[in-house]
Amino acid sequence: MDEMHEFSPFMYFLILKCTSTLYIVISIIGWIGNAIIIYVTIRSKQLKNKCNILIAIQAFSDMIHQCGHITFVYSAYHELLIPIRLCYWLQFVFFTAVDFSPLIMLFIAIDRLTAAKNVTACRFINGKLFVALAVSVSFAYCFAFQYFIFLSLTDDVTMCMVAEGQTGRIADIWFLSCALVNVVVIAVYGILARMFKQTSVEHKKLNQSLITVIVAHIFGWLFTMVVCVAAKSFGISRLGFVAVDSIAGLAVNVNVSISFFIYYFRSTLYREEFRRVLGLKTETKITRVMESLGSTGLNGSEGRRGRTIPKSQPLGRETGFATWWILEKYCSSQILSLTLFKANQHKTGGIYTLHLAENMLNVILLLESVSLLMRCVRSSRNVTDVHNNCTLPVKTRSIRGCDIIYG
């Protein structure tokens, strides 16, 4: 604490305890909402195009990202500062998810822009290959940064937040790169909003949805980036910057937790799927807004109404148990890691090897847990195939896999 002059030790840890509590409360909302997004994507026949799949992947990545806040809560309440090298390994998976989500969102924006500008080209895009490309490029970007961060690790102490397992020039490069990705995402969605500034009801709904996404992103990632840049420009100490970052980072945490609410209130298709999964009473018939090529460019056209889709069963006890089992095992593992470090603060000779092995076990546990969750979802699947109930209107050229998901 010697290098920090902005806060007293008491005020420093008080700030971190308060912000970490807010982080975990917001994360619980995010875990529930993003889990529902993933669940309806798996079960719904209407949400099988590449854009919906990427949304589900982003939701899963956001859930992983927010799991890293458990380590932050434990460290803050125990007033525990740990070496950056150890924090890097504890937050490896979760920091990767921090980089992964904005890139997936960028690919979602590119997919929507492609569908809007050239529906003919969209017809020939293979959905599976596009998703595979998006995931591969995102992972390559994440692991490239993880490698260079690993080369610059030091034993300076820090409060182990998700993004604090890095230091030096590479941390500044990562920060600028992350800011650039998020600015590009906002720019692409801004272009989409301008393109859909039409007079039709469908386009107005779509434009409102895109504006909602832009505003959420601006007050999420971009706001945090601006605050952090301002803090660095004032020459704040590293530990003092962590305190400021913990406050500004609340905006990011809110941003990754509200996807469910954005899709619920702004997307008719998602809202109906959410209501069916949650067991809420609904008799609304789902229609698909298809993209057609007309004289004025891209026009939204509704499909004919099919039969009323029966209400599916709510999330089963088995799936809830599997989700709870994943979180309980992870929490126990992370708390054990920090407890071992606290007990061996003066005997750190082989502790990094221990935590590296434990981090690998955590990855195996995560994969096993996801497998269990998928088995529970398959076992409780009780959805009527509604694909055949959605017939296209006469004289409409629909583009498969390019359905508009907003509006």
pLDDT of 385 = 36
**pLDDT of 371 strictly over 80:** no
Residues 214, 186 contacting (CB under 8 angstroms):
yes
- Give the confidence band of 293 by pLDDT, cuts at 50, 70, 90: very low
Both structure tokens of 202: 């469908």
Nearest to 43 by CA among 31, 62, 56: 56
Q: Half-sphere exposure of 398 toward its Cβ, with a 13 Å CA cutoff?
A: 16
CA dihedral 161, 163, 166, 171 (to 10 degrees): -140
**pLDDT of 26 strictly over 90:** yes
Distance CA 385, CA 44 (A): 8
**pLDDT of 196 strictly over 90:** no
Distance CA 137, CA 303 (A): 35
The dihedral through the CA atoms of 176, 252, 15, 339 has a sign that is negative
Query: What are the φ and ψ backbone dihedral angles of 356, each rounded to 5 degrees?
Result: -65, -45
**pLDDT of 270 strictly over 60:** yes
- Give the confidence band of 45 by pLDDT, cuts at 50, 70, 90: confident
pLDDT in tens, 142-191: 999 999 999 988 888 999 999 888 887 888 898 888 888 888 888 888 78
Looking at per-residue pLDDT, the higher value among 1 and 13 belongs to 13
Three-state DSSP class for 301? strand
- Give the confidence band of 372 by pLDDT, cuts at 50, 70, 90: low
Looking at per-residue pLDDT, the higher value among 41 and 208 belongs to 41
157-158 and 82-83 as β-strands: parallel, antiparallel, unpaired?
Answer: antiparallel
pLDDT of 276 = 86
**pLDDT of 199 strictly over 70:** no
pLDDT in tens, 233-252: 888 888 888 889 999 999 99
pLDDT of 134 = 94
- Give the confidence band of 290 by pLDDT, cuts at 50, 70, 90: very low
- Lowest mean pLDDT across 26-35, 63-72, 257-266, 367-376: 367-376
pLDDT in tens, 295-319: 333 333 333 334 444 444 444 445 5
- Lowest mean pLDDT across 167-181, 251-265, 381-395: 381-395
Both structure tokens of 273: 């799927």
pLDDT of 161 = 92
- Give the confidence band of 339 by pLDDT, cuts at 50, 70, 90: low
- Lowest mean pLDDT across 27-31, 145-149, 341-345: 341-345
pLDDT of 90 = 92
Instruction: Assign domain 9-281 to its CATH superfamily.
Output: Rhodopsin 7-helix transmembrane proteins (1.20.1070.10)
- Of these ranges, 49-53, 83-87, 262-266, 340-344, the one predicted with the greatest mean pLDDT is 83-87
Distance CA 395, CA 171 (A): 55
pLDDT in tens, 54-63: 999 999 999 9
Average pLDDT, rounded, for the chain:
74
Distance CA 15, CA 199 (A): 49
- Give the confidence band of 27 by pLDDT, cuts at 50, 70, 90: very high
Helix, strand, coil proportions of the chain in percent (round to 5)?
Answer: 70, 5, 25
Q: What is the mean pLDDT of residues 75-89?
A: 92
Nearest to 272 by CA among 287, 259, 254, 262: 287
